[in-house]
Amino acid sequence: MSENVDASAPPVTDDHEAAATSRAPTVADVLALPVLAAGRPQVVTGVTRLDRPVRWVHITELTDPASFLKGGELVLTTGMPLPEDPAGVRRYVDELADVGAAALVIELVRRYHRPPDTLVQACHARGLPLVTLSKDVNFLEVTQVVHALILGNQADAMRRTQRIHEAFTTLTLRGAGPEDVVRAAAETSGRTVVLENLVHQALICEPSGTTVEEALTDWERRSRATPTGDHTEVRGPESWLVAPVEYQGERWGRVVMLPSVAFGHEDVTVLERTAMSLTIARLIHPTPWERTAHRSALRDLAERRHRSPEDARARFAALGLPTEGGIFLAVLVETRTEDGDSETEARLSQELHTGGVPALVGRLAPGRLGILLALRPAQPWRPVVERLSRTALDLSPEVVVSVGSEVADLSDAARSFRQAARVIEAVLPGQPLPEGRSFHELTDIGLRHLLYALREDTRIQEYAERQLGPLIDHDTRHGTDLLTTLRHYLDAAGNKTIAARRGNLSRETVYQRLRTIERLLDRDLEAGEQRTELHVALTSLDVLRAG
């Protein structure tokens, strides 16, 4: 049974030679070299196995060449020593196949002009590539060229391995964190690399040539189907390259390299060094990596840094958070100090875990913690937030807790975080909590709170100064207090009698002061719109001074 394939075309190009020197040469690479292509090689059997690596080239005219082989050799022969009897031919081929020869190349010039049927059948039965040469080839030159290629590859591989060791040693010496290490592994290998803990939560994913969604979709199930050995090796139904990561002598998790093409020796070296660097980084960086992963995921979500909504869902699902069929709510905890961040973060995480509420907790910025709650559609969120805020207030009375609105899709959680941030920004210093609540929400934001949140906007400052500046300047120069009279008048909704009583003044005095205010500001205090403008300006002045 013949599979005749012309292995001499197309001719070798520089690109092909460059590809061959970047890895161990295969049977196909060797057949494409000019020194062999000149013999017009034809692949008779084993055309699907030409990707076998060639470790060495062996010229033989012996009837039992296998006794001198170790596996991976390209065997060259003129066919002169082939046995005459079919049993002898089968034994000859069996011995080559058993020892692991890469291929058998026979020259059809001296003894044969076509390969014997028994040889073709035996090679086909054992899956051994059989290649014929129809023209005379200098076997010695073949060995010189191929061996130079192999030795050059080995030298290149040693240099690349050395560079890998140096790169990860540099990372370790400068105290790189786990994100830096995993990113370096992905960039060096050109493959997606994932760090996970013992419960198969993907803490860090650095994609290469793929997306986070493609890498992490259904992660836990796929990961549990892939066992971990004691060494770096290819495991599981998806042929992942996995390496255990230890901490203080015990297994902490593992680092995974996802396949795109077959793994090579360099990939193993990269993953081994990655695992070693992660072990050292775990000793250097005391913060639990689960907490670091939660922080990073929440920041990316709040700031919309995910490549797509699907990537975000895959990433959070791989961290153990339900991402479908629920309600999401953002909660912010302003600690007003960095000192209590870690303790508050740990306590709130414990509170949610104990209460069985799916959530991620992480520091978004110094003095600010973010919480993403994943609730069932009918589950009320107020009791959960109330419990969290009470826990935070027990740790520090200065804590301010705010919530955004509920959203039905994880990709909209950034809006909930943004709303919660606006609430935090609008809370005035010393502002009491709403009655019956220990947290703030959107409905708490009134005019004063809105202006306080916008206090750094120069347009607010310019407005207040333009509306009230002349009055403040007059009070300063003359020692009067017309601004207070205006405040009482506006707070009384234009009722002069109430304004007089609040200022402990006579009505005539109030009338006189109001006329002076109208003249200084060039305003009509009987006009409702102008009173509103002055009231907004006075409120702006108050929050600017408070800020």
Per-residue pLDDT reduced to its tens digit, 336-348: 766 667 888 989 9
Q: In angstroms, what CA-CA distances link 408 with 109, 371, 411, 412, 519?
A: 77, 16, 9, 8, 56
Q: What is the rounded (10 degree) CA torsion for 45, 49, 50, 51?
A: 180
**The token pair that represents 324 in the structure block:** 């479908």
CB-CB contact of 319 with 201 (8 Å):
yes
The model's pLDDT over 199-216, given as tens digits with 9 standing for 90+, comes to 999 999 999 988 999 999
Q: Average per-residue pLDDT in the chain?
A: 86
Quote the CA–CA distance of 522 and 515 in Å, as a whole number.
10
CA atoms within 13 A on the CB side of 333: 35
Burial of 426 (0-12, 13-18, 19+ CB in 10 A): buried
**pLDDT digits over 157-188, tens only?**
677 778 887 888 888 888 889 999 999 999 99
Collapsing DSSP to helix, strand or coil, 399 comes out as coil
pLDDT at site 503: 86
Higher confidence at residue 23 or residue 502? 502
> Please, what sign has the CA dihedral across residues 489, 493, 495, 498?
negative
Assess whether pLDDT exceeds 50 at residue 11: no
The DSSP-derived string for 443-474 is: GG--HHHHHHHTTT-HHHHHHHHHHHHHHHHH
| 205: helix, strand or coil | strand
The per-residue DSSP string of 353-374 comes to: HHTT--EEEEEEETTEEEEEEE
Q: What is the pTM of this model?
A: 0.64
**pLDDT tens, position by position, 27-41:** 898 888 888 888 899
Mean pLDDT of 357-363: 94
Confidence of residue 323 (pLDDT cuts 50, 70, 90): very high
For residue 315, name the pLDDT band (cuts at 50, 70, 90): very high
